[in-house]
Structure 1
Amino acid sequence: MADPLSEVISLLRPHAPHSKLTEGSGAFSVRREDVEEVFYCMQLSGRVRLEVDGKPPLDLNAGDFVLIPAASGFTVSSIDPPSPPGLRTRPVLGENGVFRIGRPDGPVEVQQLIGYCSFGSPDADLLVSLLPDIVVVGGDDRLAALADLVREEARADRPAGDVVVEHLLQVLLIEAFRSTTRSGATSGLLRGLVDPRIGPALRAVHAAPHHPWTVAELAGTAGLSRSAFFTRFNRIVGEPPFSYLLNWRMTLAKHMLRTGRHDISDVSTNVGYGSTSAFSTAFARHVGYSPSRYMKVASAG
């Protein structure tokens, strides 16, 4: 049976080129606005409060990892002691390459690894929409071990250190997604994968996207009536079953067309269309232009 999460991550092609160590002391409150990249934070020691715009505040403890695929703005502030209202702290880069927040000369009470990552796929917006709007993993030993490796490598002056850090961070991101599938998720594909009814249907779709699926067949894999399956799928994944199927087929089609290793007829067959003309019509309606045009644009880019 297919592993949908592996497929999504492979197509996303996550990169983590920007990371930094931050140490805090005393009261602080750091604000970030107009965030356009994917933000992550590994709490290495101490406690902080993360307030993402439009969401309830989160208290992060040592060993917690948070990933926010899409956020317009957020604030990270101290808990012990609490930051006073209106405080805005500017991180200061130290000689050791570590950013300092709060008191410049006090003992280190908080340490974080924070940064931004990006996704290499042109379909990142669609794929990210399948993930929760915030991923929080608490006290996971594997994540903590990875974070220790990242912290050690980030602070050491070794050849190709930046490359090693980026690859470790990619593994850290993947482990966060995997941990979320084990512990549950708020919405999207991850929640669907751990649901005992919807999970089998998602895996069936990913195992055979070319199959002419019907609602009755998918409902059968879930052991539900058609109406119950439709309602449950929509609630858990965040979109109707055939909307998900269409989006996934078109994501696969665009990936195959970009590689240049498949002609349009092969792509049509592999994503479940009985004729090239039917596929071309559906693709143009979904993407905005024909498969042949898409191939030319992709090769030029």
Structure 2
Amino acid sequence: MDPLSDVLSLLRPRTAISAGLDAGGEWAIRFPAHDGIKFNAVMKGACWVSVDGETEPLRIEAGDSFLLTRGRPFHFATDMALPAIDSATIYDKAVDGVATCNGGGDFSLIGGRFSFEGDQAGLLFHALPAIVHVRDASNQAAVLRWALEQLAGELKQGSPGGALMADHLAQIMLLQVLRLWLASGKPSGWLGAMADPRLTRAIGAMHADAARRWKLADLAGLAGMSRTTFAERFREVVGQTPLDYLAGWRMRLAADRLHRSSDSIASIGFSVGYESEAAFSTAFRRLIGCTPMQHRRMLSA
């Protein structure tokens, strides 16, 4: 798989579709803190969105999609000066999956939340800003527009198998928004590297064979760059050296296997490139902050 697919597969996203919103007139709604990533797509109208801790509200309009990545309380409003009602006031009374504010008719939005079964959600969160905003996303990508239309229908119709259909549609939208974000030229960190085919080749190779004794020259060759140029470019975009990135990816794979398998510490270490249990345990403790056995015990407690 490609590196983005690798990461999302490791995180094992699960989707919970929340009610859509249908609002009319002037309004303001306050939402509480949340787990995971919130996904929203505006179907009609416009409003402002602000996230606690961020300095400026963001204007969102029909066709826009955005992710809220920090789990902080947030605020939707047609006018940020309006007093806000608590979201539970209308969402607890949602009918057929849609909450109504002020009679509806002027603004509509579809929302969902992605939680992550994997233990390394920070790998994705830390690579994203608090609000990932893709303007006019539904017109930029036919697959996203189709998924939005299908999801709107699933929320309204309540057809058999609708929950599973909505879950897969929402995951398609998460991936498509990330693709559009990558194409915008704004990402940094490992996500930013996905916009550079040369760095993507090197990261993809590390992901595909994490146990290999990679050398800087090997990775630079895959990227079609000199060692010096590759090392400088990788550090500039990703924020760490190629071999530091490899060590971190190995530990993420190992942490996942410690959680989801009964394999021995030594065999897990060998699978990610360490020839002895002692060497693996030392590297794991340096990067994760505890020994592999301690990590396994914490996750199973």
Shorter-chain TM-score: what band?
0.7 to 0.9
Give CA-to-partner distance per residue, 1:63-95, whole Å, 9 cap, x none: 2221122242332222xxxx2624324452355
Residues in 2 aligned to 1:269 and 1:152: alpha-carbon distance in whole angstroms: 49
- Whether contact under 8 Å (1:29, 1:89) holds in the other structure is yes
2:200 corresponds to 1:211: no
Residues in 2 aligned to 1:277 and 1:235: alpha-carbon distance in whole angstroms: 33
Unaligned runs of 5+ residues in structure 1 are: none
2:267 corresponds to 1:266: yes
2:137 corresponds to 1:136: no
Q: Pick which of 91-100 and 39-48 moved more.
A: 91-100
Alignment of 1:176-255 (within 5 A): 176-255=177-256
**TM-score, scaled relative to structure 1:** 0.84
The offset of 1:55, in angstroms, is 5.6
The offset of 1:191, in angstroms, is 1.7
The residue that corresponds to 1:116 in the other structure is 113
Q: Secondary structure at the match of 1:197?
A: helix
The residue that corresponds to 1:13 in the other structure is 12
Amino acid at match of 1:112: L
2:7 corresponds to 1:26: no
Residues in 1 aligned to 2:183 and 2:83: alpha-carbon distance in whole angstroms: 38
- Whether contact under 8 Å (1:40, 1:114) holds in the other structure is yes
CA separation of 1:263/1:196 partners in 2, compared to 1, >3 Å: closer, same or farther? same
Unaligned runs of 5+ residues in structure 2 are: none
- Whether contact under 8 Å (2:96, 2:155) holds in the other structure is no
Runs of 4+ in 1 over 6 A off after TM superposition: none
Q: Secondary structure at the match of 1:60?
A: strand
The residue that corresponds to 2:63 in the other structure is 63
Q: Pick which of 256-265 and 37-46 moved more.
A: 256-265
Alignment of 1:142-161 (within 5 A): 142-161=143-162
CA separation of 1:220/1:132 partners in 2, compared to 1, >3 Å: closer, same or farther? farther
Residues in 1 aligned to 2:47 and 2:163: alpha-carbon distance in whole angstroms: 27
The offset of 1:227, in angstroms, is 4.5
Q: Secondary structure at the match of 2:19?
A: strand
Q: Secondary structure at the match of 1:27?
A: coil
Amino acid at match of 2:218: E
The offset of 1:145, in angstroms, is 1.2
Residues in 2 aligned to 1:292 and 1:218: alpha-carbon distance in whole angstroms: 32
CA separation of 1:37/1:143 partners in 2, compared to 1, >3 Å: closer, same or farther? same
- Whether contact under 8 Å (1:260, 1:295) holds in the other structure is no
Residues in 2 aligned to 1:164 and 1:181: alpha-carbon distance in whole angstroms: 26
The offset of 1:236, in angstroms, is 1.9
Give CA-to-partner distance per residue, 1:145-175, whole Å, 9 cap, x none: 1111111111223344334322322232223
Residues in 2 aligned to 1:42 and 1:249: alpha-carbon distance in whole angstroms: 35
In percent, how many aligned pairs have the same letter?
32
Q: Secondary structure at the match of 1:41?
A: strand
Q: Pick which of 16-25 and 31-40 moved more.
A: 31-40
Residues in 1 aligned to 2:293 and 2:67: alpha-carbon distance in whole angstroms: 37
Q: What RMSD in Å do the two structures reach over aligned CA positions?
A: 2.7
